[in-house]
Structure 1
Amino acid sequence: MTHDSQNRGQDNERDPLEDMLRQLFGGQAPDADEVRRAMENMGGAPGGMGGFDPSQMDPAMMQQAMAQFQSMMNAQASSDSGPVNWDLATQAARQAVAGSDPSVGTFARREVDDALRLAEMWLDGATATEQTGLIGKAWSRAEWVESTMDNWRRLTEPVATSISNAMSQAMQQQLPGQLPEGMDGMLGGLAPMLQNIGGQMFGMQLGSAIGALGKDVLTGSETGFPIAGHTLSMVPTNIEEFGDGLNVPDDQLRIYLALREVARLRLFLHSPWLERDLFAAIEQYAAGLRMDVEGIESAAASVDPMDPESMQQAFTGTSFIAEPDATQRAALEQLELLLALIEGWVDVVVTEAAAPLESAAALRETMNRRRASGGPAEHAFAALVGLELRPRRLRDAAAFWEEITRSQGKEYREDLWRHPERQPTAEDLDDPTGYAERRRATDASTDALDQELRRLLDGGFPDAPKEG
């Protein structure tokens, strides 16, 4: 132990420099000895650092020291160069599921595999879509987090980036006049630190929300998005806990959930444009994202810029997203419509395929209520990023697909999913019986226009004026 360390450790004396670092950096404070050595190398520190008093430090030297501090903080932080610390988000998500996440045993994996294989066979009679050809996965909660995190990033990054930037900018705007005397010239050095803190803070909140979903989600695609990619997956621990509140045999619940999982993956593979349009709607929404500037400034005004914990408390649990404008509302409406159409189709197809299950009707109602209302974790996620993953018109969409199946057949129904331009609108959900006739009229009008255009290009109009 060094002489300085002995002096600082005697009689539990407080270290002024360490106190200052904790005020500046909270739980991520650099090691005080490293800072002392850095300051000694700058030639600005007096000999015998045990008696160091930060309040007596020259402001110019403090500016230089802050640069050293920031460098050390950056070395500890994520290598991710974006405004949101996604490494920290992943850690927070994993921490949220830790402690209640037993590994999936061989028997549970076999049960999941059997259920998914059976679901593929039963769906062959209910839909004209092809089998997925995928191998099923039984995931623990942590495995679900790790396997879906890249797609959560893709789903939320446009929104998260806007929110993180707005938070850090608001905090920077509140700094003048709040810093201790003699430190006003350090604003430029504090700005990167606040950006880092903003990214870490939002990353932790987002990771905690995703981790909460990880303790609730039953299958990989339950959110309606292919959040697990093109992977058939189920989370046995969550399914077991969910089944504890139902008067349904475990095997029937597992098979029913497997039918829904396989049906969604079949649809996404059958219609590659669907995934593209879902994410495009999110990007369109995020592009026009506006922040509640007054709300952020009000929260930032209550922050002690030297106390990161006060920043965490001020910005946690509150949405600072302003009301969407007309363009954003259109994007959200399109997103909700697509999610409703997906879930409505899944509901109709699975209802037919699940006919052999005695509990099918009860499970259908239970899952539709769960899907339409969402749980606490889903609501927390929605409040954080402004995106609701639940379809508001699920029952209307199911009624639409039931009518199409009855009047036009399964082949017609599945063919609609091959053509983005033929997707039902909100008006079609209001009047499903008239969809096929409206579609034929639209197709006939389009064909006639195409024919006239071809005739024009081919010179097929005899009365057209001749050149020259």
Structure 2
Amino acid sequence: MTDDNTPWMRLLRELFGDDAEAALAELERMGMDPSALAQASGMLGNPAMMDHVLGQIRSLITQSQGEDVNWTLAHDVARGVAAQSGDPSVTAAVAQQHRAAVSRAELWLDAATDFDPAVLEPRVMSRAEWVEATLPTWRVIAGPVAVSVSQALSQILKGEDGSGSAMEAMGLGGEEAGALVQSVSPTVCGMHMGQAAGQMSRETFGVTDLGFPLLAEPRVTLVPSVIREFSAGLDIPDDEVLTFLALREAAHVRLFAATPWLTGHVHNLIERYAAGIRIDLEALDSAVSEIGVTDPAKLQAALTEGIFNPRHSEEQEETLASIETLLALIEGWVDEVTLRAAAPHLGSIGALSEMLRRRRAAGGPAEDAFKTLLGLELRPRRMREAAALWREVTARAGAESRDAVWAHPDMLPTSSDLDDRAAWVTRWVDGGGEADDVDRALEELLRGAAQGESGDGSGDTSGDDEDGPATPQV
């Protein structure tokens, strides 16, 4: 069985290089008959199949060289998951129906907010197109954590922590399985990223279900196949469901288009939180030891549970609270604006809003994606409180005052403000809230600059005439 011309040895040689014979010996020690396996697989009598398998292995290894995460594989896995159970192309008639719903939604939103609609034409996408359009943002948001996981997995496989259990289980030393290690870690993490993105493509209505757009451009986007499946389980007319979801998507896009700082602010908070994530090496090592490295799919599944250290630093806890609060404020604003825009037109708006709240509470695609990739769970309770805050501001001061809160991040309510929203609303409406704090700070800054321009800056005015110091007045 050591003849390199046998199909099985060619396969092992591709995987383990010079360590192929050691791997073969370990397989035989475990009671596995490579010849029987090769015969059962049909590879012995089918050179084309063997070449295909070897080609796939070469491709994985080549793709992963120099990368911590196999992003090409992530893309392919996401596309594959998106295509499960079919992914029909969007016909011209379906696209026109959804664009008409967006136009209707934009018209209704004009009466609920002064934020302008997106200038770009709406997109109506298949799931595969959604993957293509959003994967670059996935890479920005979750990429740093995926790299950390890959490096930790590689460390365990190489035995740099002193254990080397995964490689020893194959009868190989850490330094002897370089090719396998170089491909397994990026491959597993690429599968992990692709699975999360692909699964979300099957559940998301557009590109804002995470609470912020997954496109670099402000464009309303809808995925008809997901909307159709969601609508099928409801006792509500399909066109009302479609218009409601178009309203929410368009409201999200309006908010982010009107506040250019918001997308970067969300990304910065997520990146700050992700930078502090620590991998639970013991939990990861245990998963690797139990599963081994021969089944990347099972190893990828293990990454969804228990690999993030549950102990957060104080800074990370603060960042986590900021993320949850900001996303709650975004979703709460969208809930309030959507409700006001739809109330005169959709008799089912109450039922639709409640169904969406239940969907979030049960763990929708946003919650699942954050939990899987970042160990971050969103709390629906914060969203309900944020919606109530925006509703109270609108009732007391109008939509213009409500939307003015988004002028600067320092004006937004904090988590403690959501705990006592009535007090915050009163301060804002009465002019004693964060807006005045910002104005006062700017005034002090300008006054200090003006005083610094007088004399030598020492503050001595003994040489001034009777009319007082000749300093500019602010």
TM above 0.5, yes or no, is yes
Distance 1:397 1:142 in 2: 34
| Residue pair 2:64, 2:187 contacting (<8 A) in 1 also | no
SS in 1 for 2:391: helix
1:71-118 alpha-carbon deviations (Å, 9 max, x no partner): x94785327743011110111111112242111122211110101111
Q: 1:457 aligns with which of 437, 452, 473?
A: 452
Q: Give the direction of change, closer, same or farther, for the CA distance of 1:134–1:388 in structure 2 (3 Å limit).
A: farther
Give the secondary structure class of the aligned counterpart of 1:424: coil
Q: Given residue 195 of structure 2, which amino acid in structure 1 is its aligned partner?
A: S
Change (3 A) 1:454 1:199: same
1:149 Cα deviation after fit: 0.7
1:212 is aligned to 199
Q: Describe the SS at the equivalent of 2:121.
A: coil
Contact 2:406/2:412 (<8 A) preserved: yes
Kept in 1, the 8 Å contact 2:209–2:366? The answer is: no
Partners of 2:457 and 2:156 lie apart in 1 by 69
CA contact 1:302–1:314 (8 Å) conserved in 2: no
Question: Equivalents in 2 of 1:147, 1:178: separation in Å?
Answer: 42
Q: Which residue of 2 aligns with 1:295?
A: 283
Paired amino acid for 2:406:
W
1:239 CA displacement: 0.6
- Give the deviation of 1:371 after TM superposition: 2.9
**1:273 equivalent among 244, 258, 261:** 261
**1:446 aligned to 2:441?**
yes
The superposition leaves residues 270-310 of structure 1 with CA deviations (integer Å, 9 ceiling, x where unpaired) of 001110011001110111111112112223334656x4559
- Pick from 71, 79, 86: which aligns with 1:100? 86
Distance 1:362 1:308, change over 3 A: closer
For residue 45 of structure 2, what is the aligned residue in structure 1? none
Instruction: Answer whether contact 2:208 2:249 (CA < 8 A) is retained.
Output: yes
The structure-2 alpha-carbon separation of the partners of 1:397 and 1:296, relative to structure 1 and needing over 3 Å to count, comes to same
1:225 is aligned, of 209, 212, 221, to 212
C-alpha deviation, 1:383, in angstroms? 2.9
Asked if 2 retains the 8 angstrom alpha-carbon contact of 1:112 and 1:254, the reply is yes
Q: Give the direction of change, closer, same or farther, for the CA distance of 1:192–1:387 in structure 2 (3 Å limit).
A: farther
2:224 aligned to which of 236, 244, 254: 236
Mapped partners of 1:234, 1:291: distance in 2: 36
Amino acid at match of 1:268: F
Structure 2 residues without counterparts, runs of 5 or longer = 21-53, 464-474
Letter in 2 for 1:171: L
- Give the drift of 1:434: 2.7
Give 1:426's aligned residue: 415
Quote the offset at 1:389 in angstroms. 5.5
AA matched with 1:367: L
SS in 2 for 1:133: coil
Residue 344 (str. 1) matches residue 332 (str. 2): yes
CA gap of 1:376–1:416, structure 2 versus 1, over 3 A, is closer
| 1:178 maps to 2:168 | yes
2:67 corresponds in structure 1 to 82
Structure 1 distance, partners of 2:127, 2:412, is 35
Q: Distance in 2 between matches of 1:180 and 1:416?
A: 60
Give the corresponding residue for 1:374.
363
Moved more, 15-24 or 319-328: 15-24
Mapped contact 2:69–2:186 kept (Cα < 8 A)? yes
- State the match for 1:35 in structure 2: none
Equivalent residue, structure 1, for 2:186: 199
% same residue = 36
CA distance in 1, matches of 2:248, 2:136: 23
Distance 1:256 1:16, change over 3 A: closer
Range with greater deviation from structure 2 (276-285 or 405-414): 405-414
Q: 1:319 to 1:85 in 2, by over 3 A?
A: farther
| TM-score normalized with structure 2 length | 0.78
Q: Look up the equivalent residue of 2:393 and give its one-letter code.
A: I
Partner of residue 109 from structure 1, selected from 74, 95, 108: 95
Number of positions where the alignment pairs a residue of Structure 1 with one of Structure 2: 413
> Which residue of structure 2 lines up, in the alignment, with residue 322 of structure 1?
309
SS of structure 2 residue aligned to 1:382:
helix
1:40 aligned residue: none
1:433–1:390 distance in 2 versus 1, CA, 3 Å: closer
* CA deviation profile, 1:390-442 (whole Å, cap 9, x unmatched): 65401110111111112222222222212122111112212333321333552
Counterparts of 1:180 and 1:361, CA distance in 2: 59
Q: Is the 8 A contact 1:83 1:164 kept in 2?
A: yes
Q: Note closer, same or farther for the CA distance 1:455–1:160 as it changes in structure 2 (3 Å cut).
A: same
1:396 paired residue number: 385
Give the SS at the match of 1:224. coil
Q: Is the 8 A contact 1:220 1:226 kept in 2?
A: yes
> Quick one: which amino acid aligns to residue 221 of structure 1?
T
**2:358, 2:462 → 1: CA distance?**
68
Seen in structure 2, the aligned counterparts of structure 1 residues 78 and 391 have a Cα distance that, compared at 3 Å, is: farther
Q: Distance in 2 between matches of 1:317 and 1:420?
A: 33
- SS of the equivalent of 1:78 reads helix
Classify 1:382/1:456 alpha carbon distance in 2 versus 1 (closer, same or farther; 3 Å).
Answer: same
The aligned amino acid for 1:286 is A
Normalising by the residue count of structure 1, what TM-score does the alignment of the two structures yield? 0.79
Rate the CA distance shift 1:80–1:217 in 2: closer, same or farther, 3 A: farther
Distance 1:341 1:460, change over 3 A: farther
Q: 2:143 maps to which residue?
A: 157
In terms of mean alpha carbon deviation, does 336-345 or 434-443 score higher? 434-443
Q: 1:315, CA displacement in angstroms?
A: 3.9
Q: Is the 8 A contact 2:115 2:258 kept in 1?
A: yes
Partner Cα separation in structure 2 for residue 279 and residue 239 of structure 1: 27
> Contact 2:69–2:147 at 8 Å: present in 1 too?
yes
1:82–1:16 Cα change, 3 Å: closer
Q: Which is worse superposed, 233-242 or 98-107?
A: 98-107
Alignment root-mean-square deviation, CA: 3.3
